[in-house]
Every structure is written in C-alpha cells, then in structure tokens.
Structure 1
C-alpha cells in the first residue's frame, strides 16, 4: 500500500514527489516513458519561453547559459533534481486501468499492481495529438511531432498550424534548405508565438521565402502531393512531408476511469478545487497541464509548479485526521 501514487514523471510529477519525500511518505511515480518524457520529445533546438528561474522546482537553482534555457539544459536540470534527490520513479511503465473501491484505489500497469488512498494525475498533454481526420493522414510522410530539420532539407514540406511549435519548425526547415509551405486554419500567425520569433516568420512569409495559406485546411494527403481548401478554392501542391503540429490533448481515458467530471463544452475542463487541487473524486488530485483540459495553453511549468505543495498540504491534513 502506497501513501501516494503519482502518474506522470514530468517536472510537475517530480515536484509532487519531492513534497512526498519531505514528509517521508511511501510514494512512487509511474511514468510510461523516459524521465520528463514530454520534454525529451520536444524539438532538439527548442528554446523555452520562460526564464530558467521560472522553471525551477522546490527552490532548486536552474542555471542556464542564457536567460531562456533550451531543451537540453532543461533535461539536464530535471534529471539532476530527480537523481540527486533519489526520487522514487518507475520509468517505461504504463498505467492501464484505475479503479476506486471504497476509500482505496487500484492501479494496474503493464508491470505491476498498486494500491493507494491518494492518486496525483500529472500526465500532461503531449502524448495524444489532435488529428486532421483527412484521407492519407496515416501515410509514413505525415508526423505530428517535430524533432529536427535535417530530414526535410531539399524536400517539399507542409507545416500545419501557426503556433510556437509550427513557427519554429517552419523557420528551422527553411533555414536548413527545405521548401516550406504553411497551411493555417486561422487568418494570421498566432498571437501567442514567442515575441522574438513572430516578426521573423512574418517577414519570411512576406518576402516569399516561406509560403503561407491562411483560412485554409488540408482535405487530402497523397504520396507526392497534398490538396487543401483555401479562400480561392481547392489547391493541390507538390509535397514530400507533412508536419502537422495541430496541438495535443490530455489522456481523458484515465480521468474517465476514475470518474473525474469534465465540463460539457469542447474544452473538457476537469472538475477540481483550485485551493487543494482535489478533483470531484475524493483522493484524486490534478497537477499541471491536465487541469486545463483541452485548453492546454492555460498551464505551464511556471504557473503549475505550486500545485505540488497545495496537494501535499491537503493530503497531510487528511492523513492527520
């Protein structure tokens, strides 16, 4: 029997583990991938919007070469925090089912069964992409994740979307010798794009280095071409790769298994107490990005790292009752 089971080994899951460790609780993190798996899958050259001090957890200093750290520096920081504090974490272990019986929970994974009175869901949102739902999306040339530009050099690539990730991919592929076309559902580059990057992509589009079609949507993907609907009608262009960075969504299945209520609108916000982070199911706590449901831009490391202390404080009160 564990005092606490934390599902998700990202920065917020690690922060929750540190709070458990301070209180000498019997806890474990269950992470289906590598340590900070979402960060590991970020583009290799990604730079964070936040400064390093805003990415710190448990007041452990994060020193980076520049005010805004990159992916590798973040991986090193969270790896050092986890190893130096001997965080109890089971990596590459997948939670398959969750069930509440009375006041206890059963957590079944692909490796073991666990029992606990408290579950913290810190699963983020990066593992399930929002699909285009068009013919040809299952072709090998289509990806919903971007790692680096080199494979797209001298190739005709379509980047879908106008968010930070889409803009970063488009600029990087262009600068590595790729032929880039952006297809954007909205009428402009996103307003939340990093302030030092947004003018760059707008200038590249205006000068014609990167083609961009706004108010447009892909209708079909084929082996060597792509068709999309634009204000001027249907267009077909030569295409070798599609980088569809259309966003991601939380694992609602785990929430549903536990009975956590979701809002009835398309935002699917889970129900929780903002002071304690406890959901409508007693003993189930939410931490990090999952709190926003489909509004994945609402929560970041810098504004959700406080969830760990909120949750631990409330659990401590219940254990002392």
Structure 2
C-alpha cells in the first residue's frame, strides 16, 4: 500500500495548489481526481468567462496570462493543466475516492482502483457534482439537464431556463443568440443581483424588448414531453417546450463528508466544522480546502479567496510534524 504525508482528494485549482505547496515543503503527497485535471472547470459551459480577473485565479504565485482581463474557460484549462504538467505533480486522474477511514495515527483512503495510506488528508472536492433538484414530476425526462455546455445544441428549439444566477442567465442569452426561443423561469422578483455586472443589463434589456420571455415569482410545477407547467402570479401557465435547463445551483456531497466523520451544522447551511486558522476539521489530520468549506453557502468561497487554504493547511501539517520530533 502506497503511503504519503498528504493525500489530496480533488484535482481542481485548490487541490492543485495544495499539491504544489506540499511538494515545495518536501512532503510526500498524492492528488486523486475522479475526472480530468480541474474536472469542474472542464464541465463548465464552453464559452464561459470568469467573473474574476486572471491574477485572482492564479495559484502559487504562478502568473496567469489571458487575452482579456477576465479569462475564459479554455484559458483556465490551459493554465491549470500546464501547472500540473510543468511541475510534474503526482496526480492520479479518473480515479474516484470512495472512502476515508481514520486508523490510529493515519488514514486509509479507498478509491475505485486501490487503497492508500496517508498521515493527513485534504478534501478539496468543490460542489459542482450534485445539482439542486427542483423535485417536480418530469425532472428525470431526457429533455431536462442540470448542466449547460454549448448553445448550438438548442438552436431553433423552445428552451426553458430555470434560474436567475450567472449560469442560468449566460445560458439564456447564449442560446437566444443561437436562435433558441427562450423562456426564463425565475423564482424571485428579479434577475439575480450577483449576475456579472456586464451581463445583467444585457439580459434585462432582452427581457424588456420581448426577445426573452421572463416569468418572475414563478416556479415550474411539472415538466411534460412537449410542454412545461409554470405556476405564476397570474395563475398556471402551460408553455410549449422542447428542452429544459434547470440551472438552480449545486451543493457539496454532504453524505460523503458525514461518512468520513466531518460534522455539519444542523441548520440549512450545513456548514462543515473546521478550524478557520488551520482548515482542520473535527477529525484530526483531516482538512478541508476550497469552496466545499461553505456548505450550502456556495457563493462564499471562490478560487480567489480560498487559494490561501493550501498554505494554511501545509503550515499546520508541518507544525504538527515538528512538534512530534524529539528534542
């Protein structure tokens, strides 16, 4: 069984940052990622542009040069991939971690391929894998997706987009521009205030001119093969429909966190328990890094404000190692 000082679950930007810092400080480490390098970013929409500027997406003080101030998905993929390859990081791709068990002073990490031993484990898995379901009849139809990739697919189709955040608004605009007939279903009274400042006026103008039909204070009650049923302030509306993009957000894998012993707050936020100074959870030697630290508050942590977690965690691990060395 391979043994490491640190095993990092998740090969996203923050997991990569943790690997870089571990390598820099001379620790033996392994990053285990269930998909390709920066899997979540790979699954973002093809044309997505980040809210953050390139320097705020940098990790380990490695410059990120982009064509525009705010880089696009393909530039981010290139940046993080080059970091992994040029630094020869020890990373296993397409290998899902299934369990983590504490055994005296070390952990046994079980993946779908093998088992590892580690003195410390960092969980940096993000939250993009589990969509927030709307829990209505018909949500499991093939026409429904909780992920948006490419607007070309929806050209000349009647498309319903559910949501009011960046992902939903970007999808609505891009698909409309490729010729889709877009209906936007928004639970609240307006387009989300967190929508990118250069995008929000665009969607509002498209709605006001009638190019995109918006239903405010409305929820989808049922999805049928060729239509959807929407509960609006004016009553129930049946809309002809070919496809549905239910872009209502995502959530961390709370079941996995609880399975490995991490405590969660009992309120709806489900905040995991960790020391904000070290990022160590209630399980000694088990750390959290990145956006997963926010529980259901998925807007709280981003690459730009959680990249410091790598330094904090590795510093904590080194301090504990030094305290065990006999004087």
TM-score range, shorter chain: over 0.9
Aligned pairs, number: 321
2:119 is aligned, of 113, 117, 120, to: 117
* TM-score (ref. length: structure 1): 0.99
Match status 1:236 vs 2:238: yes
Match status 1:136 vs 2:138: yes
Deviations 1:279-312 (Å, cap 9, x if unpaired)? 1111011100000001100000000000000000
2:162 is aligned, of 160, 163, 174, to: 160
* Corresponding residue number in structure 2 for 1:312: 314
Q: Secondary structure at the match of 1:92?
A: coil
* Offset, 1:232: 1.1
* Corresponding residue number in structure 2 for 1:279: 281
* TM-score (ref. length: structure 2): 0.97
RMSD: 0.7
Quote the Cα distance in structure 1 between the aligned partners of 2:153 and 2:257: 37
Quote the Cα distance in structure 2 between the aligned partners of 1:22 and 1:282: 23
Q: Secondary structure at the match of 2:4?
A: coil
Are the counterparts in 2 of residues 271 and 279 from structure 1 also a CA contact under 8 Å? yes
Q: Secondary structure at the match of 2:99?
A: strand
* Corresponding residue number in structure 2 for 1:215: 217
Quote the Cα distance in structure 2 between the aligned partners of 1:166 and 1:286: 28
* Offset, 1:36: 0.1
Q: Secondary structure at the match of 2:204?
A: helix
Are the counterparts in 2 of residues 48 and 71 from structure 1 also a CA contact under 8 Å? yes
* Corresponding residue number in structure 1 for 2:105: 103
User: Could you list the runs of 5+ residues in structure 2 that have no partner in the other structure?
Assistant: none
Deviations 1:167-210 (Å, cap 9, x if unpaired)? 00000000000000000111100000000000000010011000
Quote the Cα distance in structure 2 between the aligned partners of 1:212 and 1:33: 36
Deviations 1:209-263 (Å, cap 9, x if unpaired)? 0000011111111110100111111111100000000000011122112211111
* Corresponding residue number in structure 2 for 1:201: 203
Quote the Cα distance in structure 2 between the aligned partners of 1:294 and 1:21: 32
Q: Secondary structure at the match of 1:117?
A: strand
* Corresponding residue number in structure 2 for 1:24: 26
1:74 is aligned, of 73, 76, 92, to: 76
Quote the Cα distance in structure 1 between the aligned partners of 2:214 and 2:307: 37
Are the counterparts in 1 of residues 182 and 213 from structure 2 also a CA contact under 8 Å? yes
Q: Secondary structure at the match of 1:18?
A: helix
Quote the Cα distance in structure 2 between the aligned partners of 1:233 and 1:107: 53
Are the counterparts in 1 of residues 53 and 69 from structure 2 also a CA contact under 8 Å? yes
Quote the Cα distance in structure 1 between the aligned partners of 2:290 and 2:255: 17
Are the counterparts in 1 of residues 57 and 64 from structure 2 also a CA contact under 8 Å? yes
* Offset, 1:92: 0.3
* Corresponding residue number in structure 1 for 2:47: 45
* Offset, 1:101: 2.1
Q: Secondary structure at the match of 1:182?
A: strand
1:190 is aligned, of 189, 192, 199, to: 192
